[in-house]
Amino acid sequence: MELKDILSTYGIIGVISSYEMKEHNGKISELPIRMKEKAMKMVGLDNQILEKEYSDLSVSEKFKIDLATKLDNEIIVVGNLSKNLIGKDMNFIKKLLIKLNKNYNKKIVVIDNNINSFMNLVKHIVVIKDKKVIFESNNFFDKELYNYISKPAIVDFIEYVNKDKRVLNETTDIYELIKDIYRVVSWDIC
């Protein structure tokens, strides 16, 4: 299946590949961003950033500015969430991307070499090599997926616990995992 078809089907996809953010020169106010004040608010930045030089921004601010320049696009491509954002910012951006997909019908492509960036965000994972789709899955517990990328700790933990008998549900949400562990322990006590 071609990447465009996969994107049309799922809306938000994760692509395991490398990504380089476009660098800009000059002030942020000079960038081609429609409705700059609203765009800054949407990506979680203060309007005072418009007067700053692009080169003076932090990595996370550059990521958010890059996203702001793409808000009008039908297909929004962002990358390296794991390298550019810390926990709080990553959760905010994930919620924003989901909102853009659901409320504004934007198609979202998230490119990263760290699968943790995709958790609680993407509906389908694609591995690309030499501009060709070599593997795709919609399951974070697909064993073949981890031939291409490192296995996240939560998946490794659940597989370890479930190796002899299914005890825990397969989830990528840490809070759901904690609830599931509590349920299992509660049943064992009774």
Q: pLDDT per residue over 137-147, tens digit each?
A: 999 999 999 99
Kindly state the greatest CA–CA separation across the chain.
65
**What number is the average pLDDT over the span 152-179?**
93
Beta partners for residue 53, in sequence order: 27
- CA–CA dist 41, 37 (Å, integer): 6
The whole-number pLDDT of residue 12 equals 96
Name the residue among 57, 59, 109, 122 with its Cα closest to residue 86. 59
DSSP string spanning 44-79?
Answer: T--GGGGGSBGGGS-HHHHHHHHHHTTTTSSEEEEE
- CA–CA dist 87, 81 (Å, integer): 10
pTM value is 0.89
The whole-number pLDDT of residue 161 equals 93
Does the structure show a pLDDT above 70 at 43?
A: yes
Dihedral angle, C-alpha 37, 74, 100, 169, nearest 10 °: -150
- pLDDT tens digits, one per residue of 81-138: 999 999 899 999 999 999 999 999 999 999 999 999 999 999 899 999 888 889 999 9
Provide the pLDDT confidence category of residue 190 given band limits of 50, 70 and 90: low
Which stretch of DSSP H or E encloses residue 159?
helix 153-161
Does the structure show a pLDDT above 70 at 169?
A: yes
The whole-number pLDDT of residue 64 equals 96
Pairing relation of β-strands 124-129 and 75-79? unpaired
Does the structure show a pLDDT above 80 at 39?
A: yes
Average pLDDT, the chain: 92
